[in-house]
Amino acid sequence: MPPTLSTAPSPLDRLKSWVKTITFYELLVGMKATMTHLLRYRPITLQYPHEKRTLPDSYRGMLALLRYDDGTEKCVGCDLCEAACPSRVIRVVSAEVPGEPTKRYSKEYYMDMTRCLFCGLCVDACPVDALGMTREFEWAVYDKRDLQLNKQQLLAIGDRSFPVREKRLELQHRNVAFFNVAFKDLPQKPS
């Protein structure tokens, strides 16, 4: 008759399993990672109002309206940011430039920052890069009506957060400035 393997555990195996049950061996193995992290790493504490942590490059903070280097606003009142906003935070009232019916500007611009998702879809939708996401995050207020921003407040945030401004499109490219006959006060193309 061939030898058969016994399936009953030996008394030594039963003693080992009993000791593991009594000492909560599985919990100790699980806590090993926690204990090594606790003993190896030191906490990083910043004294917040005086020390601020560096934000990642992809951080999206408060929204701002931007200007060109000559102080004119970039927003052309196309309402694409309003259409792209998933939470309907932005409200734009656009108007035509007097005497030039093909040119528009934003007469009024409002943002309700209490409902903003900070998704950046309005910044992506803007064809003239008139909106920007700043790195400002300290906007705690006692009255949430203070977070309903108008055009002047948004321009002030943009001036504070983006001090370096770009030139107008007409002045960036000489060919655009030369061939654009709608602008009468642009410099002539040098010969």
Binding residues: 75, 78, 81, 85, 116, 119, 122, 126
Paired tokens of 169: 């499109």
Task: Render 96-162 in DSSP notation, one character per residue.
Answer: EETTEEEEEEEEEEEEETTS-----HHHHH-TT--EEE-S------SSGGGGEE-HHHHHHHHHHH-
Annotated binding site for [4Fe-4S] cluster: 75, 78, 81, 85, 116, 119, 122, 126
CB-CB contact of 66 with 132 (8 Å): yes
Q: Going by C-beta distance under 8 Å and a sequence separation of 6 or more, which residues neighbour residue 81?
A: 90, 92, 122, 123, 125, 126, 131
Give the separation between CA 88 and CA 76, rounded to whole angstroms. 19
